[in-house]
Amino acid sequence: MTLQFSLAATSPETAATACVMVGVYEQGVLTSAAARVDGAIGGAIKRQVESGDISGKAGSTTLIYAPAGIAAKRVLVVGLGTQKGFDAARYQKVATEAARALGKLPLGEAVSWLTEVDVPGRDVAWRVRTAALAADHAAYRYTATFKPREKSAQPELAALAFAAGPEAETGLTQARGIAEGVRFARELANLPPNICTPAYIAGQAEAFAKAHDKVECRVLDHEEMERLGFGSLLAVGRGSSNKPKLIALQYHGGAAGTAPYALVGKGITFDTGGISLKPGPGMEEMKFDMGGAAGVLGAFVAAVTIGARLNLVCVVPSAENMPDGDSYRPGDVLTSLSGQTIEVLNTDAEGRLILCDALTWTARTFQPQAMVDAATLTGACVIALGKHASGLFSRHDDLAAELLAAGEHTLDRAWRMPLWDDYQVQLDSGFADVANIGGKSAGAITAACFLSRFTEGQRWAHLDIAGTAWDEGRKGLATGRPVALLAQWLLERSEK
């Protein structure tokens, strides 16, 4: 079920809804809406604060059912934490926990007054957008399930309104578009690898293009790529019966003739490691190795849905990395589309091999004014940054600053890593122009250095999302990152 969002021009005492949400800080400080509700229901909130039943701890929730004196059937009191030091990250956490608590209640709609909470440096449009995206993320359920799901006899949350004036409408419009993109990315990445093959991703892209007037799709199959010289990409997919695809979506939202922005995403639909076989435990998570593809496709969906005023290209090289009698192997030398030769030292470093050809083709075909790739590229990036920040690599300070700012704005954050020529020596090869790995040290950096060799003359950045694209564990789901970051970057380019 997709949550419907709207703005509410009413007071918390008179809103005829199943639930109103209001905030309380630690030390018992009530927000304006909470104080108004408290006055109308005879001080019930303050009494629970005094008794300790409402702590005000950030993200905590307390339900007051059927309070006399207001039109709403319930009041959900949400803890905001300390008033001093309240910031954007805390606001997002509070909005997420409030949405989770709301989703457990037997109700179909609610109105939130959390959008009145002051967040330093953020306007009401940002607060509405952030709260809506947090709610949509919390409400997400994997729908393409292969086991029966019991239908709930109780109503489920379907509509959420936010107390704000028309000045927040832009934030709500953006939230709807970004939420659409995040859901698209999460659903695609969560699919099992026997369903989500390169051909399936191509089919989803084609279906999206058919549904939107300003969008067109082109898919290159393995035969056409072989004629064109995609020697690196094709080598990775050689061991699988699911043949590789190169998927290119174009959105004509800007002036004709204007150079597009380009997004490129790693689409390894399953990664066994190939001949350099991965260990068995945890290998099922390698269905998420197309998280970069899902992320850039989601950002594309968001930009189109919002109606961004720019030209945009989204390119997805997609393959399955499998061991087979025809698989590529350590020691092979590949000739990439760029003409550079690559010595394969490890077949599990395959993402960079499909990306290098895709980056070359994108630059040649579309001459973009900027190109950003996203990839679940290295375990080394997870070691360096954990699950909180994506790794950002670029030689272009202005582009890096734009992407970092977009991440801070959306709280889909990235951290810039070095891309110095000092590291390039680790990729030296005695048998080809470059080796596909650079040894044990600085693995995320040398992977980015490898890609940089195929983006000469391009305004380019690389996002390593190996730590941020999905939550670990047998029940872990795709996160939809970095859709929000990329969508915000594109919106800012659109506004300029």
Phi, psi dihedral angles at 24 (to 5 degrees): -135, 130
Give the pair of three-digit tokens for residue 187.
Answer: 């659903």
User: Per the residue annotation, which of 73, 278, 309, 416 is the catalytic one?
Assistant: 278
User: Beta strands of 329-395 (E only): which ranges?
Assistant: 333-335, 341-343, 370-375, 390-394
The number of CA neighbours under 13 Å toward the Cβ of 45 is 30
**Rounded distance between C-alpha atoms, residue 13 and residue 332, angstroms:** 71
Can you name the residues that pair with 265 across neighbouring β-strands?
Answer: 374
- Using DSSP bridges, classify how beta strands 159-163 and 4-8 pair: parallel, antiparallel or unpaired: parallel
**Rounded distance between C-alpha atoms, residue 77 and residue 74, angstroms:** 10
User: Per the residue annotation, which of 183, 186, 352, 493 is the catalytic one?
Assistant: 352
**Rounded distance between C-alpha atoms, residue 206 and residue 218, angstroms:** 8
Q: Is 104 a catalytic residue?
A: no
Number of neighbours of residue 422 by Cβ within 10 angstroms: 11
**Rounded distance between C-alpha atoms, residue 27 and residue 380, angstroms:** 43
H helix and E strand count, the chain: 14, 18
Which residue's structure tokens are 């790529």? 225
Q: Is 147 a catalytic residue?
A: no
Residues assigned a catalytic role:
278, 352
